[in-house]
Amino acid sequence: MTLPNGLTPEAAREKAARAYELDREHVFHSWSAQKSLNPMVITAAQGCYVWDGDGNRLLDFSSQMVNTNIGHQHPKVVAAIQEQAGTLCTIGPAFVNDARSEAARLIAERTPGALNRIFFTNGGADAVEHAVRMARLHTGRYKVLARYRSYHGGTETAVNLTGDPRRWPNDHGNAGVVHFFGPFLYRSQFHATTEAEETERALQHLEQTIVFEGPSTIAAVILESVPGTAGIMVPPPGYLAGVRALCDKYGIVFIADEVMAGFGRTGKWFAIDHASDGHSEVVPDLLTFAKGVNSGYVPLGGVAIAPHIAATFDDRPYPGGLTYSGHPLATAAAVATINAMAEERIVENAADMGERVIGPALRELADRHPSVGEVRGLGVFWAVELVRDRSTREPLAPYGGSSPAMTEAVAAAKAAGLLLFVNFNRLHVVPPCTISEAEAKEGLAILDQALTVADGHTV
């Protein structure tokens, strides 16, 4: 027996042991206390599965960092990277190359409205950085409004925009960022009891924040179209359209962060497409993307730019750029990814799996497990909110932390062959958009076992 990378299990274990030894000696890991860290070794991956350093196969319900939207080692994308490497490995961003040009065309075809100019970056955080810079230069204003319970990246501006605890050690209160509460009916800040009330009151709160901060000082409002790491809180009907209207009213740039939610994750090309009602679509002024644009096979991100923002820089140089902007290997991977998603109806598969398999199964699990407070999501983008007490909605782990209960539940899932994305008191069900019905049911059955472990910590 061999693994997908051609190694025998014995050879893979030897290689994994050496990799782990070197990792612990030399690698400095992100978001971690280094001394106690015990990272998992991954030796191979294929489709919706990964193999750990001991040769165990795990179903990847995390899509790693929620970015392997077309699964691991998709042959069309691997071949495109290999072909591009044999033709043109790299070239500076000032020069035209066919991979970048075609990637820009394919992305612009799929973005809402007329967002037809693409500025390429190396990932999501620097896409957010540049979107904010564009908004500030376009408006001549500085402040940016961002919601609590959000994540926009780990670089200086992006982490200050972030509305979760990762911001705290990096926030000195001088980044020009003002946070507000977005809609989240399960833990409503607005004492709402219906989605309509939550939408109305959240928009009232946002407008009051704009008025109190001074509309003439605000460059942009940035929102994840569906917040990802912070909880997969699908906006209630009318909210994103209302944000668009407020931005228009006060001359504020609307930035949609689609880094995690874009490229099929929610069952549409972009999550903001769910806000369209059939008569009109909600179109941001700037849209950031990364992750799923090429499934993370080579680092790539970008900003899709509306014509009126792009026109600001027709005769005025844009003061920003990156050595690897539109890198040929990354954009060739994007071309292959987008074409594969269209040809293989991967976006449609994500929608179908969410509506027909994952959503109904998670709701059934919620009915049976007292540890489940709420399930919510779209496509292959779901959160399972775990609570100690359903009546009080006390979370199974504190905001910004973990707990023995969460650790035990996640360990049970891993021991049974399921890799989950975990944040505070939530388990996120975010498999690749290519997942089959059989694979989804396999993972959901293991999740059922893990939730039984969590149930033991409820009151």
Question: Residue 63: which pLDDT band, with cuts at 50, 70 and 90?
Answer: very high
Pairing of strands 117-121, 301-305: antiparallel
Pairing of strands 421-423, 57-60: unpaired
Tell me the pLDDT tens digit for each residue of 250-302: 999 999 999 999 999 999 999 999 998 777 899 999 999 999 999 999 999 99
Which residue is it, tokens 């000195």?
172
CA atoms within 13 A on the CB side of 205: 22
The strand order across the sheet containing 42-46 reads 42-46, 49-52, 57-60, 418-419
Quote the mean pLDDT of the chain.
97
Tell me the pLDDT tens digit for each residue of 33-51: 999 999 999 999 999 999 9
Tell me the pLDDT tens digit for each residue of 339-362: 999 999 999 999 999 999 999 999
pLDDT score of 327 more than 80 = yes
Q: How many residues does the chain have?
A: 459
Choices 3.90.1570.10, 3.40.640.10, 3.40.980.10, 3.40.47.10: CATH for 76-343? 3.40.640.10
- CA separation for the pair 246, 254 (Å, rounded): 9
- CA separation for the pair 43, 52 (Å, rounded): 6
pTM of the shown model: 0.97
What the block records as the tokens of 35 is 């001394």
- CA separation for the pair 315, 320 (Å, rounded): 15
CATH 3.90.1150.10 maps onto the chain at 9-73+345-455
Confidence at residue 269, expressed as pLDDT on a 0 to 100 scale: 98
- CA separation for the pair 333, 299 (Å, rounded): 10
What stretches of 154-229 adopt beta strand conformation (E)? 177-180, 218-224
Mean pLDDT in residue range 183-203: 98
- CA separation for the pair 106, 159 (Å, rounded): 29
Question: Residue 390: which pLDDT band, with cuts at 50, 70 and 90?
Answer: very high
Mind spelling out the 3-state secondary structure of 220-254? EEEEECCCCCCCCCCCCCCHHHHHHHHHHHHCCEE
Share of the chain above pLDDT 70, in %: 100
Confidence at residue 330, expressed as pLDDT on a 0 to 100 scale: 98
CATH fold for domain 9-73+345-455:
Aspartate Aminotransferase, domain 1 (3.90.1150)
The least confident of 90-104, 175-189, 266-280 is 266-280
Tell me the pLDDT tens digit for each residue of 103-124: 999 999 999 999 999 999 999 9
Burial code (b: 16+ CB inside 10 Å, e: under 16) for 121-157 equals: bbbbbbbbbbbbbbbbbbbebebbbbbbbbbbbbbeb
Q: Residue 208: what residue type?
A: Q
